[in-house]
A and B are shown apart, each in its own frame.
Chain A
Amino acid sequence: MSFGHKHILGIEQLSADDITLILDTAESFKEVSTREIKKVPTLRGKTIINIFFEASTRTRASFEIAGKRLSADTMNISASTSAVVKGETLEDTAKNLEAMHPDIIVMRHGHSGAPHYLAERCGFSVVNAGDGAHEHPSQALLDLMTIREKKGTIEGLVVAIVGDIAHSRVARSNIYALKKMGATVRLAGPGTLLPTEIERMGAEVTTDMNTALDGADVVMMLRIQQERQGKALLPSNREYSRFYGLNPENLKLAKADALVMHPGPMNRGVEISSAVADGAQNVILDQVENGVAVRMALLYLVSGGEQLAEQSA
C-alpha cells in the first residue's frame, strides 16, 4: 500500500486505506519522540514553511517539532508579521514563497479552501493546518490515532461530538474520518450551532446532549468558538454549560470506559468541567503527544507521495 497524495487538504479526499497507512506510519514515528536523541534524518535537506494566518500555538508548535524531528529545515511565518498586513494577496504571497523553493507549506487560514487555492497554483506540497470552518485533517487523524491506541479499533465505536458543530472544522474532519473508518457518529449541540443538513454527512444529530452521550465509547467535546460566532447564537456561557457542558454526572451516561477528548484549547467550566478535564477518562494530553507523530507521518508521506503518484501513473 503506497500513498499517492501530494497534498493533505482534507479528510474528504482520503480513503480508509490512506487513513490506516497514515496511522500506521505515525505509530512508527511515535517511537522517535521517546528517544534520547529525538531526531531522524528522513527529511534532511527539505524546507518546510509553516504559514499561519490565524492564531495557533499548539498546532504550529506540533508541526514545527514534527518537521524538526525529521531533520527538515522549518520556519514559521505568522500573518501579523507577513506582508499580508501590507495588502499582499494570498497568491502573491504564495508565488514569493515558491521562489524560495520550499518543499512543503503547512498553512492555516481563516477562509475555507485557501489551502486548495494554493495547491492548485504552486509546485510545493500543501498541508492544511485548518481552513476556516472547513477541515482540520491533522487534528482528526491524531484523534483517530488516540482512539485506535486506546480502544484497539475504530470500527463499530459510537463517538459523540458535542458543542459548536457549525464553526468546527475539527468536527467536520472527524465526521469524515470516523465514518470512513466505520464508527457511528452522533452530533449534539444547540440548534443555533448545528448546521442545516449536517446529517447528510452520515451522522446522527440531536439537540439533547444526554441522547448523544448514552452508551458512547468516545465523547469529543468542542470548544465554544467565541471569536467566530459573536454573541447572538448563545444566550450565555452559563446556560450553555448547563445544557451542553460535560461533567462527572452526565459522563456517567456514556460507557464506563469511555474516552473524553478535546481538541484544545479548553474553556474550563464552559464546555468541560475541570473534574472531567483532569479526570481518569481524559486522553487530552495523549492527543497532543500523538499530534506530533501524526504530523511527522503526514510530512513524510507527502514528501514521497508525488513520486509514487507519478510512478503508478
Chain B
Amino acid sequence: MAVRETIILDQPAINRALTRIAHEILERNKGTDDVALVGVVRGGDHLARCLQQRIQDIEGVEIPLGSLDITMYRDDLASRGSLPVEKTDLLFPLENKRIVLVDDVLFTGRTIRAAMDALMDIGRPRSIQLAILVDRGHRELPIRPDYIGRNVPTSVSEKIVVQFNDENNPTEVRVAKP
C-alpha cells in the first residue's frame, strides 16, 4: 500500500518551537535553579541537548543534562520481544531537582509512565515536568505534557516521524498515512 507523507514541521518551525519551549521552561521555573533536562532515548535525548543549548543562550547557565533509556521499564516484553537496551546516563543526583523530561512524540503515554518509573527508581526529584515536540493524542494513561511544540491530531494508523541529521539535530517532522 502506498504511504503518503506530509511534512508538518520543517527545520525553522522546529527551531521556533524549541526556543519557545526553552522560554516556557525558564518562565515556569522562574529561572534555572535546580532545573535539569532528561531526554528519553532516542530522539528525546537529542531534543534535550538542543533545549539545554537554548537555555544556555538565553540565561547563560548550563543546566544538567541526562539521558534515560526506558527499555528495562517497558511493559510489553511478552509481545514485543527483547528490544536492544540503550544507555542511561544520569551523572547528577536527582534529589530536589525539577526534572524536565523530554521526548519527541507523545502517543499512548506508556513511554512516559515508564520513564517516570525509571526516574523514581534512580532518585527522588522534587518534580517532573514533561516537554514534547509533537503531541499526537490517543492517550491510554492520564498523562499531560507541560510544554508542547505542536499538537497534531492523528489517526491511530498514522505514524509520526521525527528526522534528525548526522549531528543529531532535528530537521523535520513528517506524518505518514498508510
Residues of A within 8 A of B (CB): 1-3, 21, 24-25, 27-29, 31-32, 35-37, 39-43, 70, 297, 300-308, 311
Name the contact of A24 in the complex, choosing from B81, B83, B84, B88 (C-beta under 8 A). Answer: B84
Judge whether A28 and B88 touch: CB under 8 Å: yes
A-B contact pairs, 25 of them (CB 8 A): A2-B82, A2-B84, A3-B82, A24-B84, A27-B87, A28-B69, A28-B86, A28-B87, A28-B88, A29-B85, A31-B87, A35-B121, A35-B122, A37-B121, A42-B72, A297-B85, A300-B82, A303-B77, A304-B80, A304-B81, A304-B83, A305-B82, A307-B79, A308-B81, A308-B82
Least CB distance from B76 to A in Å reads: 10
Judge whether B73 and A303 touch: CB under 8 Å: no
Judge whether A42 and B81 touch: CB under 8 Å: no
Least CB distance from B69 to A in Å reads: 7
Q: How far is the CA of A42 from the CA of B72 in the complex (A)?
A: 5
A interface secondary structure, majority: helix
Name the contact of A304 in the complex, choosing from B82, B88, B121 (C-beta under 8 A). Answer: B82
Q: How far is the CA of A24 from the CA of B81 in the complex (A)?
A: 17
Judge whether A37 and B85 touch: CB under 8 Å: no
What mask results when residues 73 to 109 of chain B are scored 1 for a CB within 8 Å of chain A, else 0? Answer: 1100111111111111000000000000000000000
Give the nearest-CB partner of A42 in chain B: B72
Which residues of the partner chain B approach A29 to less than 8 Å between Cβ atoms? 72, 85
Least CB distance from B41 to A in Å reads: 10
Which residues of the partner chain A approach B78 to less than 8 Å between Cβ atoms? 307
Least CB distance from B29 to A in Å reads: 26
Judge whether B84 and A21 touch: CB under 8 Å: yes
Which residues of the partner chain A approach B73 to less than 8 Å between Cβ atoms? 40-42
Judge whether A37 and B72 touch: CB under 8 Å: no
What mask results when residues 51 to 84 of chain B are scored 1 for a CB within 8 Å of chain A, else 0? Answer: 0000000000000000001011110011111111
3 interchain residue pairs of minimum CB distance = A304-B82, A304-B81, A308-B81
Which residues of the partner chain B approach A305 to less than 8 Å between Cβ atoms? 81-82
Q: How far is the CA of A306 from the CA of B81 in the complex (A)?
A: 7
Which residues of the partner chain B approach A31 to less than 8 Å between Cβ atoms? 87-88
Which residues of the partner chain A approach B69 to less than 8 Å between Cβ atoms? 28
Q: How far is the CA of A64 from the CA of B8 in the complex (A)?
A: 50
Judge whether B84 and A304 touch: CB under 8 Å: no
Which residues of the partner chain A approach B82 to less than 8 Å between Cβ atoms? 2-3, 300-305, 308
Q: How far is the CA of A88 from the CA of B42 in the complex (A)?
A: 51
Given contacts A28-B69, A28-B87, A306-B81, 15 further A-B contacts (CB under 8 A): A1-B84, A2-B82, A2-B84, A28-B71, A28-B88, A29-B72, A32-B72, A36-B122, A42-B71, A42-B77, A300-B82, A301-B82, A305-B81, A305-B82, A311-B81
